[in-house]
Chain A
């Protein structure tokens, strides 16, 4: 495949970008926080894909994880609680040339922003959504979140959480038009990178739930899963994630899962005895909202003005001559 001559001109004064070019400031997250692993994986992805910094934007809501845009030397929007997704959709509509990443926490996405989450999946606009799920509200110092397991003691539930937790993967896979759903854990960085990379390349709304540690408020919460690699179930497939021999030596529990099989994906998502890691569902045929919308032409200022005038003219009462 040859390269377009105009593109050569574009590249002619471009310098290769290194990982540090995407680093803006030292993260303020606690030492040992799983957000750091996600940040490292995303910065590595940007470097490997040589993404132009002015062509990507990170959008977040409120929470520990939502500080993410501050640490990326790109465009960023640290928005309102639960409203990361609608902001991201707005950006996607107006700036289709930008790649949009969304960083949202289990409270931001699954609680206050749940309605937006459902419809963002349904609208399937081309963006990468990373759900940083530590199963606790960390920023406000340990309150129960929708994904906290039943019985988890917190400042708001000292006698343990009363309800069964919400499973974000089951929810996502139950929404119409879902096109990409994957799950990762922050303590398997190779897999995390691979999954985020595949999510980035997916044309549509790619939803990745990353289970992450909160060393401050739930320091031993994931130890049971972390200490025993057999607690992870790797989902492999020739069209999905493939594991290296080194990883296969560590994570022996594997299942060949076709990412197009939605029913099996739902079964896997509901597993309780193991954490499934990999791409549960991917369907590139699901249309993106921005493509379905497919306006006949561009909404230039002239077009918008003409349309508004035409609408207003319908209601104009002309004075009798």
Chain B
């Protein structure tokens, strides 16, 4: 072994080697991230548009999808359309750049700013056509809303936006129901009042006619006439008080407010009472709201009973009096708005963490967002031991164990793809946990937050998964890891194309592992060292390959990752073994998630193996048996060898559920009716209502065979239009004309 290779191995094992250049001051980044230096020129998910307006089908859209729809709808075919596309794509890039620079505003506002910038940069002739095209397009933009980029606030802003949408939908439905109940209760009181003497006084009658009648009517005379038909109120005083109290409770409820025109999300007063930054505050708010919720539910119950005139004082008074917090069901809680808690993982410590667990266990509609922006922090106990998001991942995986909580773990780069899942979590009737890695800016070389978050997903350092108890009862239905890139593999394989030293194109597939992700973090630069390739090709092994091989196989090999510097020059960096150990742990954690998601499930594979062995053993036995038989029987020419016949796998897999066997009809000696086919035509029951009767579905059957003659059975069979009566053989052999009847009955047997 030459000296330089020894040095490489020494660095890999100990992390010490003065001769190799450590990469902390070189601004290196993984080679697969080289094309993404300027995200503003790329068409990707960000910025997002938080669409305003309840009528919009989607509440979150990407800028690119809006521009695409706009162009599809408005850009004509041909050169004019091409020009419009070009202008709109330029504008899209400019809006993206504005969003990256944290310019706040709606899409319409940023559109105007970007358009102004583009026009001011153009010459006079281009400016005119640009202005015209962009104005034309501006009027047809299919959606408007706040523009948000992938920054530190995006997750909480997006979640709150989606939560407010669910709040408004719930509020709309609830208010509709409450208003209807209020109106119907008022009508009971109003209708009763109209029958009373008080409603027939001249003043009351005059008031009911409205303005403008003056002396046209003699209300005194009218009152005298109507007085004769008046009666006392039929609504008892107790009932009136009950209805009035229910009405007051329905109208004074504090949970839902009608939406007003042009209302901003931030103005949503009642909604603000349900958004918190700590679990303790949310818990206190829930406790404070409970008495009012119980009162409202009691008022709803009273109103529904009163409207249907089914309120029974002897029964319902007691039931309603005993209605308490313990009586609240999941459906009752689901009627009210859910509680949204947005917090950072750092705030989720000690008592707050205990409260969070309590909330998630409670089954209450608490929607908790826990954000983290550092998943590579080293624990203080021991240098070089990485947690890779263990704190937040642990929270998410532990919550799955609670069984009744919705869990979504994702990164901010996947928010747009997982928006439907977020909405599922928000509308789920129980608690929901959203654990999100928001990407990091600190300790990262020069990567935008979006790329850091995306790298965490790609490298399995922070995989995406969903656990949705609403989908079904079993793990296979509830748990899903399919949102991860190439979820079947350890790490996604990506193609890297570059120019080598001889200016020749080289293309190779490489994995993006945890080591590549750690390489983005300046805190771990000391675990990498750049080396020259010459002379060490036999020793260097790609990191993905090294991690997946056993330690014995690797021998005197040294793992490396491909990086690029600021000038996009490819660098080979060898890796300290500590990071390799961390990558192996990361892979094991990913395997656990894969198993939960049904990928390479060890239980299933073990069962499969067991089944296969049993099948093979059974076939072996059959082959042995057939061989013994074959020894004693002559073989016909052209016969397939018996062994092949037996060992050949079955052509079709056996059906999982055999078709249910239809019920066989009774024997032809017994009289019967095919009851399910009876059309209730009354023919047979009119003939003999004791012999034939209808069952609980109003379909005929033979109720009492002794209640009629064989002749009636045969005649009923003959007049039955759907021919479902089968007379069978006669019971009474002494009946007159039996031979003729038996002959007539033949065709119905």
Per-residue A-contact encoding for B293-324, CB less than 8 Å = 1, 0 else? 00001101100110010101001100110010
Query: A118 contacts the other chain (Cβ, under 8 Å)?
Result: no
Q: Which of A1-35 contact B (CB under 8 A)?
A: 1-7, 9-10, 12-13, 18-19, 31-34
**Centre residue among A32, A34, A43, A186 by max chain B CB count within 10 A:** A32
Query: A115 contacts the other chain (Cβ, under 8 Å)?
Result: no
**Given known contacts A34-B679, A36-B679, A190-B676, A300 and B301 CB-to-CB distance under 8 angstroms:** no
Q: Are A9 and B305 in contact (CB under 8 A)?
A: yes
**Given known contacts A40-B699, A226-B722, A298-B179, A189 and B680 CB-to-CB distance under 8 angstroms:** yes
A5 vs B330: C-alpha distance when bound (angstroms): 9
Q: Which A residues are CB-close (under 8 A) to B682?
A: 31-32, 36
Q: Which of A233-251 contact B (CB under 8 A)?
A: 245-246, 248-250
Pick the contact of A5 from B186, B332, B680, B681 — CB < 8 Å?
B332
Q: Are B330 and A1 in contact (CB under 8 A)?
A: yes
Interface of A is mostly: helix
Q: Which A residues are CB-close (under 8 A) to B316?
A: 9, 12
Residue of B nearest to A4 (CB): B331
Residue of A nearest to B316 (CB): A9
How many pairs, one residue from A and one from B, have CB atoms within 8 Å of each other in the complex?
113
Q: Are B662 and A213 in contact (CB under 8 A)?
A: no
Q: Which B residues are CB-close (under 8 A) to A40?
A: 679-680, 697-699
Q: Which B residues are CB-close (under 8 A) to A248?
A: 662
* Closest-CB distance, B362 to chain A (whole angstroms): 14
Query: B471 contacts the other chain (Cβ, under 8 Å)?
Result: no
Residue of B nearest to A192 (CB): B679
**Given known contacts A40-B680, A189-B676, A226-B722, A19 and B698 CB-to-CB distance under 8 angstroms:** yes
Per-residue A-contact encoding for B475-501, CB less than 8 Å = 1, 0 else? 000000000000000000000000000
Query: A260 contacts the other chain (Cβ, under 8 Å)?
Result: no
Query: B153 contacts the other chain (Cβ, under 8 Å)?
Result: no
Q: Are A5 and B327 in contact (CB under 8 A)?
A: yes
Q: Are A246 and B698 in contact (CB under 8 A)?
A: no
B interface residues, tally (CB under 8 Å): 48
Pick the contact of B300 from A6, A186, A245, A249 — CB < 8 Å?
A6
Q: Which A residues are CB-close (under 8 A) to B123?
A: none
Pick the contact of B681 from A12, A31, A190, A300 — CB < 8 Å?
A31
Query: A267 contacts the other chain (Cβ, under 8 Å)?
Result: no
Q: Are A37 and B329 in contact (CB under 8 A)?
A: no
Per-residue A-contact encoding for B239-268, CB less than 8 Å = 1, 0 else? 000000000000000000010000000000
Query: A86 contacts the other chain (Cβ, under 8 Å)?
Result: no
A33 vs B686: C-alpha distance when bound (angstroms): 13
**Given known contacts A19-B697, A19-B698, A186-B679, A5 and B661 CB-to-CB distance under 8 angstroms:** no
* Closest-CB distance, A96 to chain B (whole angstroms): 8
A309 vs B298: C-alpha distance when bound (angstroms): 37
Residue of A nearest to B720 (CB): A32
Query: B696 contacts the other chain (Cβ, under 8 Å)?
Result: yes
Q: Which residues of B contact A (CB under 8 A)?
A: 179-180, 183, 186, 190, 210, 258, 297-298, 300-301, 304-305, 308, 310, 312, 315-316, 319-320, 323, 327-332, 335, 659-663, 676-683, 686, 696-699, 721-722
25 chain-A/chain-B pairs, Cβ below 8 angstroms: A2-B329, A5-B301, A5-B323, A6-B304, A9-B319, A9-B320, A9-B323, A10-B308, A12-B315, A12-B316, A31-B681, A32-B682, A33-B681, A34-B681, A36-B680, A39-B680, A40-B698, A44-B697, A54-B308, A187-B722, A245-B662, A246-B676, A250-B677, A298-B180, A300-B186
Task: Please give me the 7 A-B residue pairs with the lowest Cβ-Cβ distance, nearest first.
Answer: A6-B301, A40-B680, A37-B679, A40-B698, A2-B329, A2-B330, A4-B331
Assuming A32-B683, A246-B676, A301-B190, what are 17 further A-B pairs, CB within 8 angstroms?
A3-B329, A9-B316, A9-B320, A10-B310, A12-B316, A13-B310, A31-B686, A32-B682, A39-B680, A40-B679, A40-B698, A188-B677, A189-B678, A215-B721, A298-B180, A305-B210, A309-B210
